A and B are shown apart, each in its own frame.
Chain A
Amino acid sequence: MTFINYVAREINCKIVYYGPGLGGKTTNLQYVYQITGTENKGKLISLATETERTLFFDFLPIDFGQIRGFRTRFHLYTVPGQVFYDSSRKLILKGVDGVVFVADSQEERFDANLESLSNLAENLKEQGFDLQKIPYVLQLNKRDLPSAMPVDELSRHLLVKGEPVVEAVAPQGEGVLTTLKAVARQVLIELRKSA
């Protein structure tokens, strides 16, 4: 739910990073946090277990700057990827404006990707959204690992609607900002269209 405050001249949008467990969703946010200047970011909140697995969500507010005199802020969330946290994932999708699917390129995680993608479509539908219509980017993470499937093959199985596909190695930041900008671009275009 994009929130425009005409008094404060602010545009606020919500982006959710979705995907299978240990796929790199949290790592994406951690990298964005690291490279963003203090004046353009809020606190990175991580509700995680002792072993640093996301328990409920990660949250990072980012200020992109001004457009037409409006300060533009993106609220980035990740969901817990483990299968049994489905109830929590549904809650985090509330009011979402754009989604990034962080796929794990490893062959052994192929089924987990498919399951998570199906779960995303289902949970979006429950919240009243349509994956075919919402701003959406597919990130193929872990491109550096030896068991990474070819991009063409992975894309063929995971593409939903011809969305932008970004190859990434999240711990090194490769593809992280490209992904974020791709989904932010779609969210702003969608906002403009809604006038």
Chain B
Amino acid sequence: MFSTVSPSNPDANSNNFNLHETEFHRIQAILVKMQNELRAQLVLLISRSGQPIVISGPADNIDCTALASLAAANLAATDGLANIVGEREFSVLVHQGSKRSIFISDLLKRFSLVLVFDATASSGLVRYKCKRTTLLLEDVIRDFQRRIEKAENVMSIPQFSDEEIEELLGKH
């Protein structure tokens, strides 16, 4: 369930982002397909505030939480750089390493697609596939934004009591 938000202010305080099972599986299917086509090690959909949303890949030795946070910060810093040099945006970032590379692209200014791949995939092919995948993901995101605006299939936020909150905080 999304709260209704004004289109000009997508990150307003009243906005939560709640991932419905249908959207989760749609997104996951898109990411898995991309991962297989590119033989990528990891594909993530992350929020621009730095949270991993859907992950596809073994991710054995990669800390996805840290990766999501740093990728979002990377993209945010790049937005700042674009602004300074008079560009509207730099929507795609590629970091090329000797064994692994990372591709980060913006999605509707609220999310980001992050891909970790090795030298077997050419960066040109990665860019091409990511562009197509970005369009598919944007469709899914727009679909569930429309669903929320129509208040269809709204999932309720857990109504935990004050006592349950205190019990949770007391454990730490």
Contact = CB atoms under 8 A, between A and B. Distances in A.
Interface of A: 1-7, 11-12, 14, 36, 40, 42-43, 45, 47, 56-57, 59, 61-62, 64-70, 72, 75, 77, 87-88, 91-92, 94-97, 127-130, 133-134, 177, 180-181, 184-185, 188-189, 191-192, 194-195
Interface of B: 3, 9-21, 24-25, 47-51, 53, 63, 65-66, 69-70, 72-73, 76-77, 79-80, 155-160, 162, 164-169, 171-172
Nearest to B10: A128
A72 B63 CA distance: 18
A4 B51 contact: no
B159 A195 contact: yes
Contact of A194 (B3, B9, B80): B3
Interface centre among A56, A67, A189 (most CB of B within 10 A): A67
Nearest to B24: A7
Contacts of A72: 168
Contacts, number: 148
Nearest to B156: A195
A188 B165 contact: yes
23 contacts: A1-B11, A1-B15, A1-B17, A3-B18, A4-B18, A5-B19, A6-B20, A47-B73, A62-B172, A64-B168, A69-B158, A75-B51, A77-B50, A94-B48, A127-B11, A128-B13, A129-B11, A129-B12, A133-B13, A185-B165, A188-B168, A192-B157, A195-B159
B128 to A, nearest CB: 29
A126 to B, nearest CB: 10
Given A12-B51, A91-B80, A6 B17 contact: no
B165 A95 contact: no
B14 A14 contact: no
Contacts of A77: 50
A36 B169 CA distance: 13
A13 B156 CA distance: 17
